[in-house]
A = this chain, B = another copy of it.
Amino acid sequence: MQLGMIGLGRMGANIVRRIVAAGHTAVGCERHVEVIDDLTTELGGRFRGSTDLVEFVAELDTPRVVWVMIPAGLTGATVDQLARLLEPGDIVIDGGNSRYHDDIARAAQLAPLGIHYLDIGTSGGVYGRERGFCLMIGGAAEPVRYVEPLLRAIAPGVSAAPRTPGRTGEPGPAEQGYLHCGPAGSGHFVKMVHNGIEYGAMAAYAEGFNILHKADYGNRAGGEYSAEETPLEHPEYYRYDIDIGEVAEVWRRGSVVASWLLDLTAAQLRADPNLDSFGGRISDSGEGRWTLDAAVDIGVPAPVLSAALFQRFASRGESAYADKALSAMREAFGGHHELPGQE
């Protein structure tokens, strides 16, 4: 079977590699010609590419399967172009980080043209090539069924995890690592919530590590008292010098918090035990915000997911004005002047 891939960045290229490794072929579209050349060399006769969208479309067998894997802000324009170039029965897949609202609009835009639209939330990051990608799919049943051989090639496969107790017989799609979640938008909706959870779980680890990191505070704290600062009541309880990299390692086996995120963290702490190479400004790429928007819309409490998101904002300095306002209030009612910048 053949996959057309628009965008041969890290994710797009790795999906193509898995497709080819599974015995399928791929055609790429990408404005950097050297990326195409490199991939052509790497994958031999099973891949070819073009820098031109019209040429790319012409290369594809019908019904065409066109996977769009580009920054979310550019996807709309590309879908518009595809709407003009494709034919009834063709399938457009958005595998990027689009907001699911856009999927609903795009599916409705393409439907009158007879073009199918699938939104496929794709998780796996840089490890996806070897580990496989987890695929969350929204759209109609027919095109999902049609591309299933490709999905199976991209997904991790059932052997990637022990089977869940109670699941027997022929493994279903979810056990292979891909799931048709529902109609248009549902794939990116589920992926969005996935990322919301990811933010929350990451923050849980980060806060815990921060507590371990400061477990020696009883040694550091001075013994002086003032009306402004709370002395540590029991410094003897905080005299631990914890090796956080070793803790992350030991938790990987047998503990309740064992996870892939922890595996990665253990590797990072192995390579950089004090995390000195990181500045701690944390980007957020949309899904965490949209998850919170959804929670607010439908009235679901999300205290953990929101706390995780807000910590990211604050890591980029976005609490500064609020902090100044608090200082101003404290000075006003208490005559509390700020202390100089000691930690």
Contact = CB atoms under 8 A, between A and B. Distances in A.
Contacts of A334: 125-126
B300 A128 contact: no
B254 A261 contact: no
Contact of A205 (B246, B261, B329): B329
A299 B275 contact: no
B236 A302 contact: no
Contact of A270 (B133, B165, B285, B333): B165
A247 interface: yes
Nearest to A155: B254
A311 B316 contact: no
A201 interface: yes
Contact of A126 (B74, B97, B242, B335): B335
Interface string A296-318: 11111111111111111111111
A129 to B, nearest CB: 11
A24 to B, nearest CB: 18
9 contacts: A73-B231, A100-B237, A164-B267, A181-B246, A207-B305, A209-B321, A210-B302, A275-B325, A314-B314
